[in-house]
Amino acid sequence: MARYLARRVAFLLLSLVVATVVIFVLLRLLPGDPANALLSVNATAEQVAAARAQVGADEPVPAQLAGWVGQVLAGDLGTSFVSGAPVLPEILARLAVTVPLTLIAFVLAAVLACVVGFLAAHGADRWYGVALSGFAQLGIAVPVFWLGMVLVWVFALSLGLLPSGGFPRDDWARPGEALRALTLPVATIVLVMTASLARYVRSAALDVLGSDYLRTARSLGSSLPGAFVRHGLRNAAVPVVSILGVELASTLLGAVVVESVFSLPGLGSMLVRAIAQHDYPSIQGVLLVTTLLVLAIGFVADVVQRLLDPRLRARTAGRAA
């Protein structure tokens, strides 16, 4: 297991280096000049040249790439072309909104999906099982932005129970107000994610409920919930864990849509603003941090899978031998 972890960490670091290069190169292939963020429409040729020198766009691309990689290794993601402020502190401030939004929604959706998926599997041939399966299929088909706007219309505009968007200026200094601002965004993500995850939980639960070892445990007097928790939960969790990792990563990436609908000052809204303003350092910083988080989520999900499934550990040990 130690060798496997070492290989996975090395692969994660290599993937991050490759992502750093790819992000930089792809941005430079896009039409437009990075210096445009500092210029007006009627800028003169001298002003354009000065702006290009200021942002380093007059240097060869390999030199720009080397400078960017060196900055990243030093923990510096550059300075915004628009605000002139360091990018990393702003990203960290934005993460104070995006990370709680993602984690709260993920935990609630995972719990609800486990309940809904198990009930749908247990009642696969009953009315409530069919109804829950239909809910899961319907939830997958509903666009996130549409669901968010419906929730705003019902709970904010019509009933006036919750704010339609925004976030407290003092962030988490008032936790109650912050959580209230995140209620509708979290509900939007939870409904969509629960529907998606419930299908996989149902499939895994059906496999376990139809297994010989669970029937044997039931024949020896164990109740269905007791037998499932004691003998089947780990087997059902193995495929679900990998899906949980994918869903968590996709939720983090999908925060752009949710934060735009609810006007949240998170990482997604920062990326949208940076793209509109051609703020290359901000775009690169947000994409790099997001890539790091997605890679870390995949790493953790992979490790948890091997801890749950001894077959995967044995396969890893066999390859190492």
Please state, rounded to an integer, the average pLDDT across all residues of the chain: 79
Where are the chain's structural domains? 1-74, 87-315
User: What is the secondary structure of 27-41 as a DSSP string?
Assistant: HHHSSS-GGGGG--T
Place of tokens 């509903």: 142
- The one-letter amino acid code at 24 reads F
Answer whether CATH 3.40.50.11030 is correct for domain 87-315. no
Q: Which helix (H) or strand (E) holds 102?
A: helix 87-122
- The one-letter amino acid code at 200 reads Y
Please name which of 193, 194, 239, 233 lies closest in space to residue 217, comparing C-alpha atoms. Answer: 233
Q: Which of 74-78, 161-165, 262-266 has the lowest mean pLDDT?
A: 74-78
**Cα gap 128→122, rounded to integer Å:** 10
Beta bridge partners of 86: 79
For residue 280, give Cα distances in angstroms to 28, 45, 75, 235.
9, 21, 17, 46
Q: Write out the two tokens for 175.
A: 């936790």
**Cα gap 275→271, rounded to integer Å:** 6
pTM for the structure as a whole: 0.80
Question: Is residue 190 over pLDDT 80?
Answer: yes
Burial 218-249 (b: 16+ CB within 10 A, else e): beeebeeeebbeebbeebbbbbbbebbbbbbb
Residue 184 near residue 297 (C-beta atoms within 8 A): no
* Most confidently predicted of 36-50, 172-186, 190-204: 172-186
Please name which of 213, 223, 185, 208 lies closest in space to residue 114, comparing C-alpha atoms. Answer: 208
Provide the CB-side half-sphere exposure for 19 (13 A, CA): 19
For residue 168, give Cα distances in angstroms to 96, 173, 265, 273.
12, 9, 10, 19
Q: Write out the two tokens for 271.
A: 């990326």
Question: Is residue 26 over pLDDT 70?
Answer: yes
Residue 255 near residue 267 (C-beta atoms within 8 A): yes
pLDDT at 200: 81
Question: Is residue 111 over pLDDT 80?
Answer: yes
Question: Is residue 153 over pLDDT 70?
Answer: yes
